[in-house]
Amino acid sequence: MIDAHIHLDQYKNAEIERLMKNMRGSGVEGLVTVSTNLESSIANLALAERYPGIVHPAFGYHPENPLPTEEEAARLLSWMERRAKRMIAVGEIGLPYYLRRQWAKEGRCLDLNAYVQLLERFLSFAERHDKPVVLHAVYEDADLVCDILERYPIRKAHFHWFKGSRHTVEKMAERGYYISFTPDLLYEPEIIELARSYPADQVMAETDGPWPFEGPFAGQLTQPPMVLEIAEAWGAIQGIAPEEARRRLRNNTRRFYGI
């Protein structure tokens, strides 16, 4: 299988060694590693060079970060421009749902427009280079991102760890967008419900590692072989045998990312 969304650069060096070793023979053959800023993109490119054919890097700016300065944004985009052939996708990009909520609690107002403008620069890049996009856009942000995406001829949009209203889910499914399930598919009722209804040929499995999970994964270091358990859980929900579920999620991921 393929872990469709991981932050490999955010693990410690010793953990990366261990993680890559544990992957051998585990049934996980590849990783889509997403970036949070320029430094992270550079680190992920280095990892892709170290593990060719296994680590597939995406470059971008994580929207839950403070807004980059114009100079930072321009530097990242021009760095990406020179490495367009090396990247499998543009990501992680999107809108700052959790940051906005945190700011609101503190009585501060976040300039969403500026985030939208940044997102559009990445979408233009993806359009120009014909790359898929990896999106962080949950709940009402997903609606806004769907509307923005309509203005671009981008067909390949992956909403990772997606959560949203029934209406949004239907719209995304209809437009052919993909979503991915994290290990919380094993214990989160909202996600289990989503897995029941989302089209089986538009779903993938991801760990979003090193993000830690609960339920059966509490206290464990998040690792790519967890996607095997995600596939099994998804199969059980869909009434598909584990082997077949893994095969389908693997095929979906390969088709979407062209791996």
Site residues for Zn ion per CB under 5 A: 92, 208
Question: Which residue, 168 or 180, has its beta carbon nearer to Zn ion?
Answer: 180
Calculate the alpha carbon distances from 132 to 68, 100, 236, 257 in Å: 22, 26, 29, 7
Question: Which residue, 33 or 202, has its beta carbon nearer to Zn ion?
Answer: 33
Q: For the CB of residue 173, give the shortest distance to Zn ion in the complex, in Å.
A: 21
Q: DSSP label at 229?
A: H
Q: For the CB of residue 219, give the shortest distance to Zn ion in the complex, in Å.
A: 21
Q: For the CB of residue 149, give the shortest distance to Zn ion in the complex, in Å.
A: 19
- Which pair of structure tokens corresponds to residue 245? 């579920």
Q: For the CB of residue 37, give the shortest distance to Zn ion in the complex, in Å.
A: 13
Question: Which residue, 9 or 208, has its beta carbon nearer to Zn ion?
Answer: 208
Confirm if 174 and 143 have CB atoms less than 8 A apart: no
List Cβ neighbours of 63 (8 Å cut-off, separation of 6 or more): 92, 93, 94, 95, 96, 99, 115, 118, 119, 136
List Cβ neighbours of 90 (8 Å cut-off, separation of 6 or more): 58, 59, 60, 80, 122, 123, 125, 126, 129, 131, 132, 133, 134
Long-range own/partner contacts, residues 71-77 (CB < 8 A, 24 or more apart): 72/37, 72/38, 73/118, 73/121, 75/38, 76/37, 76/38, 76/41, 77/121, 77/122, 77/125
Question: Which residue, 134 or 186, has its beta carbon nearer to Zn ion?
Answer: 134
Question: Which residue, 92 or 184, has its beta carbon nearer to Zn ion?
Answer: 92
Question: Which residue, 206 or 232, has its beta carbon nearer to Zn ion?
Answer: 206
φ, ψ (nearest 5 deg) of residue 210: -85, 15
Question: Which residue, 64 or 127, has its beta carbon nearer to Zn ion?
Answer: 64
Q: For the CB of residue 9, give the shortest distance to Zn ion in the complex, in Å.
A: 11
Q: For the CB of residue 150, give the shortest distance to Zn ion in the complex, in Å.
A: 24
